[in-house]
Amino acid sequence: MDGTEKQLHEAAIIIDAVCPLLDDHARIADYQAGGLTAIAPTVGYWHGAGATMRTIGSWHKLLRERDDLMLVRAAADIRKAKALGKTGIIMHFQGPAPIEDSLDLIDAFKALGVGIMQLAYNVKNCIGDGCEERTDAGLSRFGLQVVDRMNQVRMIVDCSHTGIQTTMDAIEHSSAPVIISHANAKSVYPSPRNISDEMIKAIAESGGTIGVVGFPGFVSGDKRPTIDQFIDHIVYMCDLVGTQCITLGIDYYSGQSPYMDDAASIKDYRGFLAENIWSADAYPEPPHFYPAGIETPKTMLALTEALLRRGFTADDIRKIYGDNLLRIYETIWGDEAKET
């Protein structure tokens, strides 16, 4: 290594748009060690408004107490975080359970800093179907209203974990670009959680982006996927729709190796299966090893090195790492730095 990789990595704005590992606030340090500029904790899953409000409150308390963090409400906040050497915090929901049956809760959560919401998490809800549901219905009447309200308050529509027809309906109905924050290419590895060429193209045509994900069951059939298998998804999607549409949503989570021991991880896993949150078809049994070289966020420099080896230019890497998402954030949230 001649230092070029390290210089590129340190100069780039790097955004990981899906970070459930941050359920443990102590793991912020691992992302900082890896050179991340902005990170996106999942502040809402399958719980209602009350429990979600407590989670968001804990993040606002942390942001008040720590000078090295800042809340991201606009694209300029990420550029400001980079300039100041701080870490931007992007709040997002993996599923719409926190809004319950109330459109007004979309306004409330947006006011609190939640800028992105998935329309489903694998299974059916009152908005539409998830990607692992036995049916493939589209957006409900309430779902159409949800997309409208999200557009009005400038909250990003995320169709990760969302069924095909629900996603296509969201793309058609939304007045703003629609993203898939974390999914890989089904043509590279046919996990039920990965997405077809048709869907990749539809998201791109909407002006949206697709985030490549490191969860091993979505990368390959190998228990320990390689970094090149991870990059295979980036290469494929870039070839299909262009580098301007591909981002990072690596999806490190608290149950993976080395953060949780195997026995505890398997216990949690069986609970997710029992609750129908996960299926064995899409989610293999732990331990879950992320791609070799980037097993945790601490070693993200290895991805920069590997992308350069695979022929990506510095400009390509800057787009994938941050510039593409900044474009989405500018388009939907605006580019005016907010008080945090």
Report the amino acid identity of residue 172. E
Which tens digit of pLDDT belongs to each residue from 23-60? 999 999 999 999 999 999 999 998 999 999 999 999 99
**Within a domain: 139:** yes
Taking 50 as the threshold, does the pLDDT of residue 339 lie above it?
A: no
Is 121 in a helix, a strand, or coil?
A: strand
Q: Are 246 and 209 in contact (CB under 8 A)?
A: yes
**Is 339 among the domain residues?**
no
Mean pLDDT across the stretch 141-149? Answer: 98
Residue 311 has a pLDDT of: 97
What's the pLDDT at 337? 55
Range 302-306 average pLDDT: 98
Residue 110: inside a domain: yes
pLDDT confidence of residue 3? 82
State the Cα–Cα distance between residues 135 and 124, nearest whole angstrom. 8
Whether residue 335 is predicted with pLDDT greater than 90 in this model: the reply is no
Q: What is the mean pLDDT of residues 307-332?
A: 98
pLDDT for 340 equals 42
Structure-block tokens of residue 31: 């992302």
> Is residue 321 within 8 Å of 13, Cβ to Cβ?
yes
User: Is residue 340 a part of any domain in this protein?
Assistant: no
Look up the CATH number of the domain holding residue 190.
3.20.20.140
> So what's the pLDDT on residue 338?
54
Q: Are strands 15-16 and 38-39 parallel, antiparallel or unpaired?
A: parallel
Tokens 């228990």 correspond to 223
Q: Is residue 337 part of a domain?
A: no
Please say if the pLDDT value at position 193 is more than 60: yes
| Structural domain count of the chain | 1
Please report whether residue 2 resides in a domain.
no
Residue range 197-230, pLDDT digits in tens = 999 999 999 999 999 999 999 999 999 999 999 9
Distance CA 236, CA 234 (A): 6
Residue 22 structural domain = 11-332
Q: Is 15 within the bounds of a domain? A: yes
Task: Estimate to the nearest angstrom the gap between the alpha carbon of 97 and the chain centroid.
Answer: 17
Q: What percent of the chain has pLDDT over 90?
A: 96
* SS3 category, 180: strand
**Is 325 inside a domain boundary?**
yes
What would the two tokens of residue 208 be? 């949206």
